Amino acid sequence: MCKYLSTSQAREDLILHKTISDTKFAVLLAKSSLDSTEYIIKTFTKDDASLSSYLREKQVLSSLSHSNIINYISNSQFHVDIPHSSYILMEYAPYGDFFNLLIQNNLSSEKLIRTYFHHLIEGLDYLHSQEIAHLDVKLENLLLGKDCLLKIADFDVAQNVNDDVLFSQGTENYRAPEILMEDCQNYQAADVYSAGICLFVLLAKTFPFLEAGSQYSNEFQNYKRFIVNPEKFWNRMERFLKNKIHFSQNLRELFHGMWNLDVTKRFDLNQIKQSRWYNESIYSNEELKVIMENKLIN
């Protein structure tokens, strides 16, 4: 057992196996000593900033229940004492995040990506129906659960859609232009923009736009090029990708809707669901499980 993880013998023991991440917050993998069920423990130090993130994420997660949102687990049956830290207990998503799945080339077909895009939109639709905006939608925050369903995770910057002040700055190259310009009035629309970036990266394996001053550079870093002349943007992008991917008219129309600079004209989630590309074929959950387990286990 980890030196700084202690449990009450009156409750179920959790045995710590490893640290999964130790960047912004320490994320630990633990296993039940009774039935070997695996859990994630996300820890927060007790300084003011971390405590605020802890309280926000716990409040949000504990109020949610959806197949495409990471499952919060009450720690009432566990007593975990991590000195100088608060923690949140969650389900373990054993197959990692969608950024790593992409790197490992486990998301190669458009139909497969469309299926997972459905999961993302369904998760966001539920989240927004609870008047919560995620505000940091990116591939690293999308996990693949043991059921092979997409799970939206990391709610430490999530906010109520009616909050007057936006606290999150999002993540570079995923965040909506209005967040970058510090003029975001519609938090749900910002999530839609970021979901569009996720879809593009899954399909093209590169970002469509890079923010000025990025450590990376290519000719598509200027979002304004897309706004001013979208046809030229798509033609250049296909040449840049050496025609490895064809952006159909249906797909282009979806991106145009999700990336509209005017948030009053940007697609909402219902418009995304009604779009032609979205309504092309997808896999059932049963088919998806077989496909992904073959990819990930073999």
Q: Give the containing element (helix H, strand E) for 6.
A: strand 6-7
Q: Is 125 a catalytic residue?
A: no
Number of Cβ within 10 Å of residue 22's Cβ equals: 10
Amino acid at 288: L
Is 147:185 a contact under the CB 8 Å cutoff? no
Q: What is the DSSP string of 225-291?
A: HHHH-HHHHHHHHHHHTTTSS---HHHHHHHHHHT-SSTTTS--HHHHHHSTTTTS----HHHHHHH
Q: Is the dihedral of CA 185, 188, 190, 193 positive or negative?
A: negative
Q: Is 102 in a helix, a strand, or coil?
A: helix
Amino acid at 284: S
Number of Cβ within 10 Å of residue 217's Cβ equals: 10
Selecting among 22, 35, 48, 136, the annotated active-site residue is 136
Is 25:43 a contact under the CB 8 Å cutoff? yes
Tokens found for residue 132: 């919560």
Catalytic residues: 136
